[in-house]
Amino acid sequence: MKPLRYRISTALVMLPLVLALILSGCELSSVSDSEQIANVETIRAGTPSATATATVTLTPTTTTTSTATVGPSPTATVTPTATETPLPPTPTPNPALTGFSFCNQATAGSSGRFSAQLTDVAASGSPAFEQVTFRFDPGPDSAPVHAGASCVSASDALSTDGIVETASPYILRVELPGWLRDERFRTSAITQTLAFTTTRTIRGASLVTSADPVAGATLLIGIDQALPYRLSVQRNPTRLTIAVARSSPIVSSSDTLQIPAGGGKPTLAGPAFFLYDGDIWRLDDAGGAPKNLTDSPESETALAVSPDGARLAFCRAAPGLDPAEASLAVPGALWTMSASGGDAKPLSQVGVSCADPAFSTDGDTVAFAVDETGALPTQRAIFTVPAAGGTPQRAQAVGDEWSRSAPQWLAGGALIYAAQAEDGRSTLFLRAPGGEVIDVGAPILVGDGMTARYRGFGRPLASPDGSRVAVEALRSDTPGADMLILAADGSLLDTLGGQTVLPPPPTATPTAAPSATATLTPTRTPSPSATPDPSATAEPTATPTATDTATPTSTATATPEGTPTATPTVTATPQPEPPAEPEYSGPYWTRPLAWDDQGSLVYMTTLCAGTLVQDYQIYRWQGPKRSDLIATGQSITTSYGAASFVGGGMAYVAVEEPSPGPRGPLAVAPRSPAQIWLWDFERNARGKIFDAERGISVFGS
């Protein structure tokens, strides 16, 4: 007989083997059951944990809602107890979430049209994420199945797709623009809305066809919060998988630009002016009420402040028409008045409409854009007029193909402005003090070797002394925009945010995520744009049965006759994916925010193209190759509009509901609620100073 110590040791050695034999003979439990028996350390690994950072205790803010008749209402000042600016927490990387992000994503493969039948849909999960797999049967000689994915708010999905799962505040859009709507499409398994009962993060999926009658469809997946995701495709068999993390690395303090900071309230060093609800408003104190300077039946549409702060130049449109919604130019003229609001009078009325006024560096002249015909396509010209009144003068020749806009004054009386042609060309023109007009954009657009480096420009923004000008340059070879700094003669001084194309990573065999049996419950709610099979009359039923050692997944499968039936399918061994699309090194979008009086520029970079979350960095440019990082953050849905320096502080507009599309460019949404924030760099204080029920389109000081 063996000693007791020997028997205990033998039992301990055999225990793992016994457990392994028991587990190998069991079916995989449901997602909820698996989570109950999951190892504690695995669950912890699936939840990103925040790195400890300095915290700030804030006094709650009381905000008074503004009305259309009174204008934006003042917001009580937040008085934090600490002077240190909190930084967003850094999530601990989780290996299970490699490749997950908030960025727009695309699968590898061609961009042509493909013919394929969607044969089944399966939901599964793991401690770190949940996923939905769409299995396709491509037709002979068809192009590979390919797709793109983005995460949007339900309101954005409603405006772009027309149909959303209203119970979910956020939507994952999986776009298949090349999916031919042929017989294979019509016999696909998802001609109706599907609901998943065993996953908590992913609740369902629906199919919406595009307006193109030949090809295109979008899969909409509702989720309860903004979460990182990953889109992938596998071949043989073809499976498109969208995986969603169970938790988000974004916390309440992630959006630095909307976190009060500093030892006291930010202080306005002078008056700030902004357009709100068709009027010009003046704000003199961060905690006070603004003053409506115009309060007129006409709509003020553009605004400029003279260098000494004494005069305003603005564009005023005729009453009864909303310039933000009009397709043609709304009749208007250039006006001027004192900064206190009195002595308003017309300064110039040339052509049909007025836009983009700008004072010269000495304040003696105003440049502005004019739509001379009011016809489409819009073709604007640049005029100048003495600020004290006089005859307007055209800044360029008559009758060419260019439409000019956004004039900015440079040192010595030079003038730079953007220009676009009807055929899509774009450039920058510089009118020298002597009147000569130079195309300074052409040599920048065409890089070394006569290759097109950029396809166009944004709106130039000149420094207060006119010695520098910043402008966005839209890339031609990669998505997004760089920011260029030009000298007063139009020569290039610095390029910020440049991207380079990285080679695709080596092909690797993907590791299949732990899956669980998913109960797929199709509802009888057909998509209005889908084409249901008339012969499909029976409700599908799920009857999962035990199989061999492969993981069974309950799926809804469409038969050739169009009647969905539930059949267990054995998951095949994943095949290596084709090479991934090239990745880019560098930020997606870089744009100027505001120049200060010392010639430094504060600018923003957005790290990737995302339609919901904006992952940004704020820098201060001090000179060529000299930029200092001053803030980082992540914002959900909110984006950022116009900004302007007031003394040592920068005031900026936060837009709550920006227009659908990737975050990064200037946010302009006239109908969206917005706030004005002030960042006092001298006192390291930041706080919200106004709420507005509708958008603040222009800001100046």
| Omega prior to 377 cis, within 30 of 0 | yes
- How would DSSP label each residue in 90-158? -BPP-GGGTT-BSS-EE-SS--S-B-EEEEEEEEEE-SSEEEEEEEEEEPTTPPPP--EEEEEEHHHHH
- Angstrom distances, CA of residue 618 to CA of 236, 265, 319, 479, 684: 45, 21, 40, 20, 15
Nearest to 437 by CA among 446, 424, 428, 448: 428
pLDDT digits (tens, 9 = 90+) for 175-210: 999 999 999 999 998 767 788 877 888 888 888 888
Higher model confidence: residue 351 or residue 53? 351
Structural contact between residues 272 and 293, judged by C-beta atoms closer than 8 angstroms: no
- How would DSSP label each residue in 495-527? EES--EEEPPPPP-PPPPPP-----EEEEEEE-
Nearest to 171 by CA among 145, 198, 206, 197: 206
Asked if pLDDT for residue 489 goes beyond 90, the answer is: yes
Task: Please enumerate in sequence order all residues whose Cβ is within 8 A of that of 608, keeping only pairs 6 or more positions apart, or say none.
Answer: 101, 102, 103, 104, 587, 588, 615
Structural contact between residues 394 and 382, judged by C-beta atoms closer than 8 angstroms: yes
Percent of the chain with pLDDT over 70: 71
Parse the chain into domains and list their residue ranges: 54-84+251-274+596-701, 95-249+508-570, 397-463+465-497+587-595
Report the distance separating Cα 137 and Cα 132, nearest Å. Answer: 17
Report the distance separating Cα 12 and Cα 661, nearest Å. Answer: 59
The SS3 assignment for 354 reads strand
Higher model confidence: residue 228 or residue 518? 228
Mean pLDDT of 96-117: 90
pLDDT digits (tens, 9 = 90+) for 310-369: 999 999 998 876 666 666 778 899 999 999 998 999 999 888 899 999 999 999 999 999
Report the distance separating Cα 637 and Cα 660, nearest Å. Answer: 10
The answer as to CATH 1.10.287.70 being correct for domain 95-249+508-570 is: no
pLDDT digits (tens, 9 = 90+) for 571-627: 333 444 444 455 666 899 999 999 999 999 999 999 999 999 999 999 999 999 999
